[in-house]
Structure 1
């Protein structure tokens, strides 16, 4: 990995020099646009509307238009801002980790110690672990002041940029104001369905099916040409129950879902280990549908 930024975490009088790395990466197939008639690639040109010339990036500035006047902002103007020049990740406060709503998480970054001694880095990491707290920080990156959450993941400090409070929309749906009656039987059936899907989360067990199918389609087209039947390549999609205008009763849908889930569970291969979902014990026995 290559670091994208260098700075220092500051809390009190303690400074922790760090390097910043992107913690995630994109593996999607890269596609471009072409003309459907001749396959020619579609290009977007940065053309000046006054002189008509195509402009290279090193001659492009940013501008703000207030409706009457336009203010041009050069790269030097933007770099002169105090926040942009800052290389500090400033700890504002330490909060209980469960107080941060996951909807606020944006981008994730790994932090590596950038010093001959990693003692300050390890001290901060151990402190976060021992107190079960997350550090709320402020920092500037790529011409934007950001709020962030500093936490520990697998013995590494991780910085996750947070959305600002006014960037998270309120879910105001009038349809949820309607009073709905849920029977005890429906709730029991729904709970049985949850139990039938219960497991421990292992992200490595999940794949991006769309990207895999897209790669398969591309490989087939490369070998056979463009005249390829998608149905021939991937097979016919099974018709889902409830489609075609049929409206299933909620209880019937729950019952069929439980039956389907149980039917799809295959016995483990010989010698393989099975994951056991954690169960909660209580004074009442659980009933299944």
Structure 2
């Protein structure tokens, strides 16, 4: 159920993304039998599931023990309502906050209320900020129209974002840039500006691994490692080479004749 103010819209949640990752199991080389892991203590003795408790480490080898019933007492209650608390402009949300994405689809009888919210948000160009509980976990979410459907993106809370100031010691400082370097960099960037077409960016590694897996008839495991040594490059030469390469690609297009 999606709600804003006194308006409620029955909706269903569908995954809007499908992450393509590859995971491997560890096998014994001689017979391909799968390797399992056991929970053991410091002495190497296996610990049974019923013997396990939760502990939060506060200092080396010092733990605060938490019982299951204590966690259950403070676990947020599951709710079928996604309540929009605020509407904000899309550009005000830092992209670092976004996590997983879902589609919100109207349930039977909710088409009109859904269409009303969808069109109104699209015209106002706003994002709804909401909170909801899913599988005993509280989420912050951004709800916005996209391609004729309401999308919900779960978000990281403010205290989960690492502030840039925390890495400032690793950033370049007192770097002197010449006007020529800046102009060439701007020229290169401007020559590469285009419309964003996500379809043209593919996960080449995933495709290669899947192709390798498909081509093998046996359950063999192989790994190929390459080492790439670092080298110092001339930034001006790199910029100039990039610009020249782009110009070379554009020349044939200019020579084409019509008629």
Same fold judged by TM-score > 0.5? yes
Distance 1:266 1:60 in 2: 72
Distance 2:188 2:63 in 1: 61
What are the within-5 Å matches in structure 2 for residues 21-170 of structure 1? 21-45=14-38, 63-64=54-55, 70-73=65-68, 78=72, 83-170=76-163
Distance 1:130 1:209 in 2: 38
Q: Deviations over 1:151-208 (max 9, x none)?
A: 0111111111110001000123224362222222111111221233232111112221
Distance 2:229 2:65 in 1: 56
Shift of 1:133: 1.0
Q: Does the 8 A contact of 2:78 with 2:135 survive in 1?
A: no
Q: Please say if 1:204 is aligned against 2:199.
A: yes
CA RMSD of superposed structures (Å): 3.6
Distance 1:85 1:227 in 2: 43
Q: Deviations over 1:235-258 (max 9, x none)?
A: xx9xxxxx8665332211211122
Note closer, same or farther for the CA distance 1:109–1:177 as it changes in structure 2 (3 Å cut): same
Q: Which residue of 2 aligns with 1:214?
A: 209
- TM-score of the two chains, using structure 2 as the length reference: 0.78
* Residues paired across the two proteins, number: 245
Unpaired stretches in structure 2, ≥5 consecutive residues: 254-259
Unpaired stretches in structure 1, ≥5 consecutive residues: 1-7, 232-236, 238-242, 269-289
What are the within-5 Å matches in structure 2 for residues 244-259 of structure 1? 246-259=231-244
Q: Which residue of 1 aligns with 2:245?
A: 260
- TM-score of the two chains, using structure 1 as the length reference: 0.71
Distance 2:221 2:86 in 1: 60
Shift of 1:108: 0.6
Note closer, same or farther for the CA distance 1:173–1:48 as it changes in structure 2 (3 Å cut): closer
Q: Bigger relative contact order, structure 1 or 2, given CA contacts below 8 A and separation 6+?
A: 2
Note closer, same or farther for the CA distance 1:264–1:61 as it changes in structure 2 (3 Å cut): farther
Q: Does the 8 A contact of 1:45 with 1:54 survive in 2?
A: no
Distance 1:267 1:96 in 2: 43
